[in-house]
Structure formats: structure tokens, C-alpha cells
A = this chain, B = another copy of it.
Amino acid sequence: MTEPEALLIIAASEVDSNLYYATRFLAPDPFVFLQVDGRKVLLMSDLEIDRARSEAKVDEVRSLSAYESKARQRWPNPHLTDTLWLLFDEEGVSAVTVPANFPLEYADRLREKGVRATAKPDPLFPERVVKSPEEIAAIEATQRHTEAALEAALNVLREGEIRGAHVYWRGEVLTAEALKKVINVSLMENDCIAQHTIVACGIQGVDPHNQGSGPIRANESIVFDIFPRSSRSRYFADMTRTVVKGRASDSLKRMYDAVLAAQLRGIGLIRHGASGPAIHAEVSRTMERLGFETGVADGRHQGFFHGTGHGVGLDIHEPPRISKANHTLRTGQVVTVEPGLYYLRWGAVRIEDLVVVGPSGCENLTRAPKFLEL
């Protein structure tokens, strides 16, 4: 008898997208997934077993508590890995492949029992990196809702009135918090959940992950970075736009034009077989050629100091990266293209679209227009 090929995942599919991808079953607490020679088996608690039987795309759902009862006959206080070992014994499994992020404690306990556990470097499911037409449609649907949310926020800015350095809306100083609420509520209306939406004005935007707070200032850059997940499909979208309420300085306009030129250059290079590092280098060079340098100044990173893009799907950051990392693009991947420039003197500009890699180019899933002043 040959040793069966076994893949083991123990995780909460709520946070582990590989497990959700493998089962299409969403649960908040960890559960056991074992694939033996292609057959998918779940061990579920009494609380989840009926729902798993009706929803999970697996071959078999077994009762965890039944295995636990058996385990208690052998061990006084069985650990989950003891219980699991009974399942392995039944299935003739003595070696398992596990995800790179498999919990060390479980792996060590299984190894103590003589099970060979081998971590597979990411991606666990290489096919997850290339999106099916259904997955692309799901991402695009989330993207439409993202655009509607941005539009709602831009309408607030349009309605707002500049008084001195600030913007007033409905009689109050308009804040980043108020704009985020408009965005997040719009998304929620469409069953999308946005966490860490960025509305960063002026110098705040110079830190690309500063979420922004306080009054929106007129005539300064405002970076909107919106990356919600659909509660229905579980797929993310991701988009960034930079605008100014009022008048942008000439320096800011030049920055905007440079970022847009770099983004369009990057989008133009995306196609099956293209090299992530080559695209990233060309995007960086485009901005350098237009006079925008990168480096540490005044103790802060300034210029362009993040990657050009990343894959988007069931996770907000997925392979492939378009960065210094050695990744090659393939047809069907969904990636962002999001160069930015960040200077303490002038503010921040980032422009981000979501595109599908094609055989000889790419399809842009993003419809939101690009403009600086409103």
C-alpha cells in the first residue's frame, strides 16, 4: 500500500483564506481540514457540523466530538492533535503537508507522535494566484462599490465650502473621520466591509499607511485609499485617488502628473510573462526622470518607497508582487498598480487601479476618473 498524499490545515476560515478557498465554508473558530488523495474531509464541532454539511464544498464532514470521545478512551485529557491522530490512523496517514503558516505547536505535537509534517512554502494553492472568471467578476463587483463610496466622499468635498484653510460641510469643519464615515457607510450599504480606509490630508499622507484624522485642509493633497471586502463573495477590491479641494500648488501638480505618468507606464507594461521587478524599476525611473528623487531626508523616507503593486483576491495582499521581489505576471492574475510620491514639503500623491493581467496587455477594472482638483 502506498502512503496517501495528505494535506492538513487547522485554522479559522474567517482569517485563513487558503482554508476558505479549499472549503468555501466560513467559520470563526479553527477547524480541521484533511485532504487525503484528493478527498476532502472536515472534522467539525457540534456547533458547526450541520451548517458545514450543508455549505462546505468537501467530500465528507465528520463529528469532532465523536473522535474526541474515542480519544478520551485512550488519553485522560486529549489534545486536538491526539484526536487528529485517530483520524490519521484510520486513513493510513503518517505524513502530511501543511501550509507555511501551520501552527508550530500542532506540528511539534504531531511530530512527537511520529507524524512527518512538512511545511509547503506559499502559495499553498498555486491556482489561487490566477483568478477564474467568477472570481474576477466578484472582485469587479467589489470594485464598483468602492467607486460608489469614493464618489459619495467626493460629493461631500464638492458640496463643502472653503473658509480659510479649512473646508466646511453642513455647517461644520469637514474632517477625515467624517469622510471615512461616508465611505464606510456607503460600502456597508452594499454589503462591503472596509477596514482602515485611508483619508489622509497634507503631511499625513506622506506616511502611506497613516489613516488620516482631523480637519481636511483646503489646497492640500487628500489621499483616498479604499480596500473593502465583500461580505457576500469575500473578495476584496482596492483603489486610491488623490484630490485637492481648491487649488493645488504647482509642485503638487507636477507630482500628480509624474505619478500618473508612472502609473500609465506601469499599466502599459503589464502582460503575461512580464517581470515584476522590471515593471517596478520602470515605474520608479519614470518618476525619477521627471525629477522626483527617493531617499531619506529630514529623518523620513521620501519619494517612492513602496512596491508598485500586489495581487488582490480573498486577501487584500496576495502574490504576485510588482516590486523588487522576483515575481512574473501570468494571465488571469488581478493586481494593483499604485505608484506614489511622498514629500514633507508638498504632500502625497498616490493613484491606484486594479487590473487583470492578459496575454498581451491588461484589462483595467477601475472606472473612477483621475483628476487632481475639485
Chain A contacts to B: CB under 8 angstroms? 14-15, 26-29, 46-51, 77, 98-108, 117, 119, 121, 181, 184-185, 188-189, 191, 193, 195-196, 207-210, 231, 300-301, 305-306, 316-317, 326
Contacts and interface: CB of A to CB of B under 8 A. Distances in A.
Contacts of A105: 100-102, 119, 121
A107 B189 CA distance: 43
Contact of A119 (B98, B99, B108, B195): B108
Contacts of A15: 15
What is the count of identical protomers in the complex?
Answer: 2
29 contacts: A14-B195, A14-B196, A26-B196, A27-B209, A28-B196, A46-B301, A46-B305, A46-B306, A47-B306, A48-B209, A49-B301, A50-B301, A51-B210, A77-B326, A100-B103, A100-B106, A101-B104, A102-B105, A104-B104, A105-B119, A105-B121, A107-B107, A108-B119, A181-B188, A181-B191, A184-B188, A193-B193, A195-B231, A196-B231
A115 to B, nearest CB: 13
A26 B198 CA distance: 14
B28 A317 contact: yes
Contacts of A207: 50-51
Nearest to A194: B193
A195 B229 CA distance: 11
Given A47-B305, A51-B209, A99-B104, 6 more contacts: A50-B300, A101-B103, A104-B117, A104-B119, A185-B185, A193-B193
